Structure 1
Amino acid sequence: MFGLFRKSSRPDTDASQADLELRAVRDRALAGDWAAARDLIGATGRDWELRGRRLSVLGVAAGQSPQWLDAWEAAAPGDPTVAILRADALMDQAGRARGYASASNTSEEQFREFDRLSTLAARQSQRAVDLNPDDPYPWVTRLASMLADGHRQHGEFHAAMTESVKRDPYNFETHLMAVTFLCQKWYGSHELMFEAAREPAAAAPAGSSVAMLPLLAHFEYALREYGFDTRKESLSAKANYFHRPEVIGEIEACAAKWRGAGEPRLIGRGITLRHWLALANFLAGHDREGTRALVAQIGPYLGSTATYGYFWMRQSEGFRAVANWAG
């Protein structure tokens, strides 16, 4: 069932990670078969986490090569999935326009383009809501668009959160956006960030992916407090934070609840959350044997796991360090 990661192999950075069906459909869509993408999303039904992840990957593909989405829209101009993918494509373009440096290392021109494209994405998100009011995912993209101007949009952010959780109370992408928006490096504080992570994690049923959100909050806290503009030089100080007994205890509790309904699947957010747990264990110097099992489950599938970039300059470098430590 699970493939063993070979340390000598190159990590697989495809955004689809272990969802090989999504990968194949994305490639077919890029080759012109947009109906394959339509059918995949349709077949996912109301599995909101899996659907959201698949829409996100397809949206990035549309942002980088939109011809197949143009053909889909020409054939079905009122399709709500097209509107969602348009919004996600615009957010992908906005992110690339801004770049991934800290605010102090981002130019005014980059910020302006980030704001322009995010505004367009917000309009497409609203169109998707109008076309399919039951879907929580357009609200997720709307939340993402507010990162461009969050100081003025705190009220709108909480209103959009309310709309999304009405449709899916423990929607992972929604609560992930809350942790992101409310962290100190964006528009909140450590206190607001931990609250946004811990409240849904505590309330969600066993097996829910949101049970793992406090790990992200700890990564964000360590990044901000122990070397925001450095990586390798500050790794020791960040790791010392993870050695605190209360941090280790929360990591263990989150993992136990996430696994409380059985071994979590690999698709959806399964690979990303295994990376989070493996990274947290590495930083804490805790549960090497369990981390070895996680690395085996992950296989080569790195995808884009941004949290490695909080501690190393390259995600692949962090993945290899964790895998080597696990043995």
Structure 2
Amino acid sequence: MPLFSGRTTRRSRVVPALDDADLTRVLRQLSRRGVGGRALEVAQVSTLLEETGENWDRRSHRVSVLAEATADTEIASSWLARQPQDADALVFHSWVALVRGLRHRRLDDAARLVSQCHRAAELRPADPLPWVVLLGMARIERYAQNDVNALWREATARDRWHREAYLQMLAHLSPEEGGSSASVLDFIDVVRTRIPANAPCAAIEVTAAVRQYQGLLAQGGVRAMTAGQLWQSGQLAAALEQAASLWAKPGFFQHAGTLADLNVLAYALCAAGRAADAHDVFQALQGTVTPWPWNVDGDPVQRFEQHRDKAERGRLGSAGRA
């Protein structure tokens, strides 16, 4: 799936599948509910995941997007009822339950879901996804940190730089979910120097900073007024500098969540007062918008376009002064 193949401006839109054409096709088919019946819907999802094979990064992206898209349907339950010992069916059903659980901050029959994940892990031992789902469940159930660390080790032992595993751990540690800013910083300090620059989880430091920045804005008052100082930290400024110079280059990133990470980087650069540096990132995105981080203060597409236009003006202004 070629990224950044064209540089002509496209209409900005939220694209859950990002650059995944096969996933886009299945989502479009699923949107025509009632056409072909439940059996066909199950077949469309199961076939796509089967075709993904052992590309754990791409499987995670497809499972998470499909789970979000079908969480209000019975597709996952129907699939599991038909194939109760199928690893994909077990993982998908558990991930759909996780999506619902995160919406309502509770899990229905958590013990059963844990059992499903362990069974999926038995059926496909190399797959990190059952352990990643368990990490997500730990966010809701608020497992003890030692237990969360054990799940983390299982997931990353199978795929060391698994993007979704890092995001689930970051969310678990965040103050919004019962953790603390100190816990997040400790986690970032531990992993920062180990992650290759182009790994699927390479955006975790910038992602954590955006979450912290938005948290400060949400508090209002003095914290909101001084939130911009966050980006002046030497370590974070250096991380942004490296990301701005590398991430938007064609071929630098190859993982399924590349366009989502570029959305985070574009937002971070604009928040840091570096709109001109975000220009190339917006160009690489070609109008592909993710709801977060743009949706915290308005319509994500509108906010994306406002910042994109500001970045364009900033680039033109910089060129004029050169």
Give the TM-score normalised by structure 2: 0.81
Counterpart of 2:172 in structure 1 is 181
Aligned match of 1:52? 60
Q: Residue 190 in 1 paired to residue 181 in 2?
A: yes
Q: Go from structure 1 to structure 2 and tell me whether the alpha carbon gap of 1:262 and 1:202 turns closer, same or farther (over 3 Å shift).
A: farther
Task: Identify unmatched segments of 5+ residues in structure 2.
Answer: 313-322
Within-5 A mapping of 1:281-296 = 281-286=269-274, 288=276, 290-296=277-283
Alpha-carbon separation, structure 2, partners of 1:170 and 1:287: 29
Q: Which residue of 2 aligns with 1:247?
A: 236
**Correspondence 1:24 to 2:13:** no
Structure 1: gaps (5+ residues): 99-113
Letter in 2 for 1:175: Y
Aligned with residue 79 of structure 2, among 53, 63, 72: 72
What letter corresponds to residue 228 of structure 1 in structure 2?
A
Cα distance in 1 for residues equivalent to 2:250 and 2:13 = 28
Q: What is the CA–CA distance in structure 2 between the aligned matches of 1:191 and 1:163, rounded to whole Å?
A: 24
Alignment of 1:104-253 (within 5 A): 114-116=106-108, 121-150=113-142, 152-224=143-215, 226-229=216-219, 237-253=226-242
Measured after TM superposition, the shift of residue 165 of structure 1 is 1.1
Larger CA Rg, structure 1 vs 2: 2
Bigger drift between 39-48 and 50-59 goes to 39-48
Kindly provide the CA deviation profile for residues 113-144 of structure 1, in whole angstroms up to 9, marking residues without a partner as x: x2436555434323322322221011111111
Deviates more, 1:161-170 or 1:41-50: 41-50
Amino acid at match of 1:308: W
In the alignment, which residue of structure 1 is the partner of 2:306? Answer: 321
CA–CA distance in structure 2, aligned partners of residues 234 and 19 of structure 1: 39
Contact in 1 for aligned 2:247/2:262 (Cα 8 Å): no
Deviations 1:21-77 (A, max 9, x none): 20112333565343332232222222221110111111123312223x444335433
Q: Which residue of 2 aligns with 1:272?
A: 260
Task: Tell me the number of residue pairs that the alignment of Structure 1 and Structure 2 aligns.
Answer: 301
User: How much does 1:202 deviate?
Assistant: 1.9
AA of the residue aligned to 1:294: V
Identity of aligned residues (%): 19
SS at match of 2:175: coil
Q: Does 1:298 align with 2:285?
A: yes
- Which residue number corresponds to residue 320 of structure 2? none
Distance in 2 between residues matched to 1:56 and 1:77, nearest whole Å: 20
Alignment correspondent of 1:308: 294
CA displacement at 1:3 relative to structure 2: 5.5
- 1:4 Cα deviation from its structure 2 partner: 4.4
Instruction: Give the letter aligned to residue 319 of structure 1.
Output: F
Aligned-residue CA RMSD (Å) = 2.9
Q: Which letter does structure 2 place at the counterpart of 1:242?
A: W
